[in-house]
Structure 1
Amino acid sequence: MIKPELKQGVMAVSATEKPKKLNLKTVASYLGVSVATVSNAYNRPDQLSPELRQRILQQCAELGYDGPNAAARSLRTGRSGIVAILLSDTLEYSVSDPVANQFIKGVAEVLQEQGMDMLLLSGRHDTSSSSAEAVPDAFILYGAPSNPEQLNRIIKSGKPLITVDCNLDTVMSVNVDNYAAAHRIAEHALKKMSGKVAVLGLRLIESDRVCRIQPHELYSTEQAISRRRLDGYLAAAQEQGRDLPADSVWHIPVNTHHFALIAAREALTQYPRPQVLLCMSDRIALAAMAVARELEIKIPDDLVVVGFDGIEEAERFYPSLTTIAQHSDEKGRTAARILLSGELGADLVMPSELIIRQSC
């Protein structure tokens, strides 16, 4: 076999002497370097000088070699280099929802820095088993689990797991203090405007339609995010001597513009009409402000509106939306870094921020 020669800083490979079988070992032998060097060129570029890595990749491309086989590497090392995000909602919803999108983006930034890949899994699939669950090295559970069987399989796998925006016994979580944040923004809104108060809530009860909740459903021991936010609103109202009965609280089943419009029209066509609207998401709040505009209700003169999340559209809308920014992208980065570090310890509560704008 004729070894490649170094000419003017570039390896020259004779096309007539290509290995018949292209694999990591034969390519390394042909290039006159170690197997580890070729492997590092693809998988650990920081281990080589940029010039050497570029020469190796160039020669491999000329040979028609695309790099070490990922499946074989996974079998050999027991690792795939993939982290999965187990979503509580459908894939379609999660990639279109601005809050979930921010979170996924934050995770992706960290994985890209570490040369790893991401797998999105929907918790809405009604399957008894999934081959996709065997692929990732670790999991991030985003939102309350919607498929307990799927979650149990992941827990039993023994692979690293961290939760975000939900809590599980014995599993580290990354959250914001939803009760404190909701209390803070409700307190701000209630001080700005007297009159009737209404809440456009999200996933407060088990129902797939927009409706007002019943008196016995107003208080709950559930620890879901929506219930914590409602408890924060109720506490702020009580402290200021403001009435917030069950028939002033709407349940919205999915955080979409369509369902939010329905709830907002019902709330804003009541008599007497609310003067304070506490919304459990920015999407809901923006829909409510659109309805207010149609009804010629002036914001913030006749109605104050507040949201929750801190999506980019809340700042661009007119009037701009007062909201709680929970910095979902930073939550994603933080969860990914902790997961990859292996330092899974006590639950982490991240800071949120009251952003005061024109709507209140």
Structure 2
Amino acid sequence: MNKNNKPLTLKKVAEILSCSTATISNAFNRPDQLSASLRERILTECKRIGYHGPNITARTLRKGESGVIGVLLSDALTYHFTDPVANQFLQGISEILEQNNKQLLLLSSATGEKTSTGIESLPDGFIVYGNQENSRLFERVVQQGKSMVTVDFDSSDYASINIDNFQAAYDIGNHVFVSEPMQPAILGLKLIHSDRVCRITKAELLQESQSISRRRLNGYLSAAKANNVEISCNRIWHIPENDYQLAYQAAHEALTSLPMPDALICMSDIIAIAAMAVARELKLDVPDIVKIVGFDDIPEAARVSPPLTTVCQRNKEKGKVAAEKLLAGELSQNTILPSQLVVRLSS
């Protein structure tokens, strides 16, 4: 047991165990290089003297790489463990990293603003997920000068992975509008800078370069115009997060407003599923009285009753492609992945 407060170094441990530093390192990091009995003996002795393995920071400085890939998230960490779209995206990244013996480090711009711990210096490269406007953590990541791929937002300096949000929204909007609804409404997501559910004004809207939701909104409105359907700003709701309760609030406001909407175009499946719950509570038949469509094609979209019409944007595939591009060093190309209109019984 190490009775000295000083941390044991690799060199010191090698002296104590009368073997090379390479042998100690291999016992922890490359077990295939040693016999099972030798590795077990070294690990047992290391445990006895209080040595827990080579310092990852020191190894990073020495080798110039850590074997860690960072994912910088725009929302809080808790959100990405509960949101099904984020779950699918992170699953795709994880599959590729596991295949390449890499580790994953999650960082959040929402919680990493107040103090700098320097942890952003550890990863070899970053996948940046979501808009990073005014993010100090993103600025610190950029200053590291490491490889980077962005997803669901554009940066002129880095490769990006997106779908054509405008076209996908146009396609599902056109599907709704060809049936000539008289009073459609849009339940939007993160359209303006506000933490409350509210209707919007045009002046408040985020720019297309900042918000994929703005691109979707433009797609909906273009489809409406092409079908001679008018949607004014007071028929468009802003929901600050992809959260069921907030979506329920917005859907309840919309479906109890006058004139009542006969079609709800929702910017996520979570929003649409909440809207369907409100419709059931108000005894409004879907789709006969009100049509409801979503966006994402999460697994639950096919299981609700009636099954939800939506856009499949291949969230898991986004994660896989982002990780593959980063690891391959393909850092100059913008990639547009295909999306698909999935028509089910809700419309």
State the TM bucket, normalised to the shorter chain: 0.7 to 0.9
Structure 2 match to 1:142: 129
- In the TM superposition, residue 185 of structure 1 has moved relative to its aligned partner by 0.8
Task: Determine whether 1:172 maps to 2:159.
Answer: yes
Structure 2 match to 1:324: 311
Structure 1 match to 2:216: 229
Structure 2 match to 1:108: 94
- Letter of the aligned partner of 1:262 in structure 2? Q
127-136 vs 331-340, which deviates more? 127-136
Distance 2:163 2:137 in 1: 25
Structure 1 match to 2:189: 202
Pair member with larger Rg: 1
Matching residue within 78, 88, 105 for 2:64: 78
Task: Determine whether 1:120 maps to 2:106.
Answer: yes
- In the TM superposition, residue 92 of structure 1 has moved relative to its aligned partner by 1.4
Distance 1:102 1:266 in 2: 30
Alpha-carbon RMSD across the aligned residues, in angstroms, is 2.4
- Listed as ranges, the gaps of 5+ residues in structure 2 are 1-10
Task: Determine whether 1:239 maps to 2:226.
Answer: yes
Cα offsets for 1:37-74 (capped at 9, x unmatched): 775565456x76xxx66455444444446654434322
Structure 2 match to 1:183: 170
- Listed as ranges, the gaps of 5+ residues in structure 1 are 1-20
The structure-2 alpha-carbon separation of the partners of 1:43 and 1:333, relative to structure 1 and needing over 3 Å to count, comes to farther
Distance 1:23 1:344 in 2: 41
Distance 1:291 1:273 in 2: 13
Contact 1:183 1:236 in 2 (8 A): yes
Structure 1 match to 2:7: none
Distance 2:308 2:37 in 1: 53
Contact 2:154 2:209 in 1 (8 A): no
Map 1:233-312 to 2 at 5 A: 233-312=220-299
337-346 vs 290-299, which deviates more? 337-346
SS at match of 1:302: coil
- TM-score normalised per structure 2: 0.87
The structure-2 alpha-carbon separation of the partners of 1:88 and 1:294, relative to structure 1 and needing over 3 Å to count, comes to same
Identity %: 46
- TM-score normalised per structure 1: 0.84
The structure-2 alpha-carbon separation of the partners of 1:41 and 1:183, relative to structure 1 and needing over 3 Å to count, comes to farther
- In the TM superposition, residue 193 of structure 1 has moved relative to its aligned partner by 5.2
170-179 vs 349-358, which deviates more? 349-358
Distance 1:176 1:25 in 2: 56
282-291 vs 250-259, which deviates more? 250-259
- In the TM superposition, residue 341 of structure 1 has moved relative to its aligned partner by 1.2
Contact 1:190 1:237 in 2 (8 A): yes
Distance 2:36 2:100 in 1: 20
